[in-house]
Structure 1
Amino acid sequence: MYRIFIGSSTESIKVAEIIKDYFSKKYECTIWKDHFFELNESTYDTLIKKSIAYDYAIFVGGVDDSVIRIGNYKKRKSVRDNIYFEYGLYAGILSKDRTFFFVNNKVGIASDLLGITLIQYSENEDVLKGCQQVEEKIKREEKINRVTLLPSTSLAYNYYNNFFKLLTPALLNLKSIFVDGQKINVNSIKIQIIIPENCNADWGIWASQFYLYNKCGNTYLGLNPRNFSVKYIKNNLLNNHEFKIVDIPQILNGSFWAIEAVVGKDYIGNHDLLSDAKKKECLNFVKTLNNLIKENPFIDSITEIITVSDYNSKM
């Protein structure tokens, strides 16, 4: 489930609650007043740390302040300055395509935002129409991947190029596998990418236990410029002549390390923020990988990505 952060001033909280009510039917929504800010931590630090756990952000700019321009002493209504700051912060981290701004039509808009389509509102009905626009945009965003602060998109691209692209030519021509010196004909090929459900587990140890429990064999496929090692379910090959390759992508540990660096982990154990951010990166990794696999009809026809709760699950 995608997660949305909703920011507003105290004066505009009712509008923020309308937005939350609309989106909470499909998404996990958090308003800033919902115990978002941490004790003994600055507002700025919390905003940055928690941004990595959200997929989208919505900000409400209401009739919050009155400002006077020194040059001509003209007075006008304005959005609270911290809302502008938070909008810019999240647009930079999540991308401007996943950060949305509802602005009351009675206030002037900051000149830096001129040319950007914002959602202007006056009545509650306008807010609901704006929510529909945002929902349509989210539906379009769900079909693609954005390169953001954390590296899951890039890691998935790298994994695809160094695993699937290298495998493709070898598997297209694969007729047999040697198992313990015995030549076994291959009648069908399948690839399963295994994603551990527990993002806080040591994936290296988890993978070793998984391969051991499922009695995985190891074989080398002759590829240029090097041999390519893969794990496979040995019993499937011996009993059904099905060459089922299984792999647990350790490359995602790089994203987990980046999350811990951003959060500034200085404790033993797991915090909800850390878990939520890792889950978000996992989902984005899988989504990116699926999109890349679809570009390769052969690989797409033989591959599935599954989430597994325990390493002792039978494949």
Structure 2
Amino acid sequence: MKPRLFLGSSSEQLTTLNEIQKLIGDVAECVPWTNAFSLNKSGLDSLIKQTRLSDFAILIATKDDLTNHRGEEVMKPRDNVIFEFGLFFGATGSEKCFLFAEEGADLPSDLDGITVAKFTRISGQYNSLDKLVETVKSKISQSSQLSELGLLPSTALAIGYYNSFVKKVCEEVHRTQYVSIDSKKVKVRDFLINVIIPESLDDNGVADFTMLYNRKHQLQKASTYIDVEMSSQGRGYAFHFKVEPTQEGHEEISLQILDVPGTLSTIVESLKLYIPAKEVGTDFDVERLEKRELFNFAKTLKYLVGKNSITKGNVKIHTDVTI
């Protein structure tokens, strides 16, 4: 899934904007300002909506207006470009919003002391437009390896799910080497937790998906094993599983645990608050945010699984799963 990048410029600089879009389009889904404004909405409302939908932003500040500043004639960028830079800078953060300023453009004094990406139109220079775009592309690629804590909850949900279920189940099965199936103690030879992340979320979360998925794959219920003779017995962690028919009745089994994270339902409730529905029908912006949150959940979970010896090699994350 490509991140979304907002591109802003003055109306006179559409050629420059299109050039940047062409250069960066292989790593990001670009939304130029010309496609960002909705009919019957104020420009500010449309921009605020784009700050919620965009992962990155590039604002192009060029020498568009000749003005007199303290008795000196200077070439300044359009005021709206500087305003939009501040708007996206506050929404996406300093690591994801970039101001491309043309050499010689007079910028607001608020930007003094901040390293701004100044570009020249002379090809081959160290700060030519194509080289600046390559720098931003590198930052986008680096960012794709990281999870994000933001107003929407996918990173926190993944951390909670990992600590409260995935890691706990792995610890208990490794420790006891048994599970409880129909109240019977069954020895586990080896096991794999398959985390099932659906392609999309229902309006009520993942409850219906989980029920249909478990039924289709004929999954059974079980839990981690509790030794009642141990004083610190803890609790059993419930899960659904399947065992190959050839293993039924064997003293040791190879266990396939399958789990749809119920915590994903929180994403649906968060999106309802983040972008309230005003109409009945498909909202493609909400669908994109949902996709982004599911992707970020999986990315965070993969990172956590791979960093711990207890879970590494015993957990597999399946994304974009359909029933």
User: Would you say same fold, with TM above 0.5?
Assistant: yes
- Inter-CA distance 124–143: structure 2 relative to 1 (3 Å threshold): farther
Counterpart residue identity of residue 269, structure 1: G
CA contact (8 A) 1:54 1:277 kept: no
Match of 2:24, as an amino acid? F
Q: Percent identity?
A: 26
Number of the residue aligned with 1:205: 208
8 Å CA contact 1:199–1:275 kept in 2: the answer is no
Structure 2, unaligned stretches of length 5 or more? 227-231
Q: CA deviation at 1:59?
A: 1.2
Determine which of 241, 252, 267 is the counterpart of 1:232: 241
Match of 2:64 in 1: 64
How many positions carry a matched residue from both structures?
308
Secondary structure of the residue aligned to 1:300 is: coil
Q: Give the letter for the 1:41 counterpart.
A: K
Residues 8-31 of structure 1 show CA distances to partners (whole Å, capped at 9, x for unaligned) of 111222111111001113332221
Query: Which residue number in structure 1 is paired with residue 159 of structure 2?
Result: 157
Q: Does 2:280 correspond to 1:272?
A: no
Query: Contact conserved, 1:11 with 1:62, CA < 8 A, in 2?
Result: no
The offset of 1:235, in angstroms, is: 4.3
Deviation of 1:233 (Å)? 2.0
Shift of 1:104: 0.7
Which structure 1 residue ranges, 5 or more long, are not aligned?
none
- Alpha-carbon distance, 1:167 to partner: 2.4
Could you tell me which amino acid in structure 1 is paired with residue 130 of structure 2?
A: L
Look up the match of 1:29. Answer: 30
Instruction: Report whether the alignment pairs 1:292 with 2:304.
Output: yes
Q: Distance in 2 between matches of 1:190 and 1:105?
A: 57
Q: Find the residue that maps to 2:300 and give its secondary structure.
A: helix
Of 92, 108, 111, the match for 1:110: 108
- d(CA) in 2 for partners of 1:115, 1:224: 60
Given candidates 218, 243, 266, the residue that maps to 2:255 is 243
Matched residue, 1:214: 217
TM-score normalised by the chain length of structure 2: 0.87
User: After the TM superposition, which residues 30-45 of structure 1 pair with which residues of structure 2 at under 5 Å, given as runs?
Assistant: 30-33=31-34, 35-45=35-45
1:50 aligned partner: 50
Aligned 8 A contact 2:198 2:321 in 1: yes
Decide whether aligned partners of structure 1 residues 95 and 50 sit closer, same or farther in structure 2, where only a CA change above 3 A counts: same
Matched letter for residue 45 of structure 1: D
Contact 1:8 1:61 in 2 (8 A): yes
Look at both structures and tell me which one has the larger radius of gyration over its CA atoms: 2
Question: Would you say the 8 A contact 1:78–1:109 is kept in 2?
Answer: yes
In 2, are the aligned partners of 1:95 and 1:148 still within 8 Å (CA)?
A: no
Q: CA deviation at 1:100?
A: 1.4
What per-residue deviation string (whole Å, max 9, x for no partner) do you get for residues 82-129 of structure 1? 222222222222221111111111212222223332211120631101
State the partner residue of 2:11.
10
Q: CA RMSD in A?
A: 2.3
TM-score (norm. length: structure 1): 0.89
Q: State the shift of 1:225 in Å.
A: 4.9
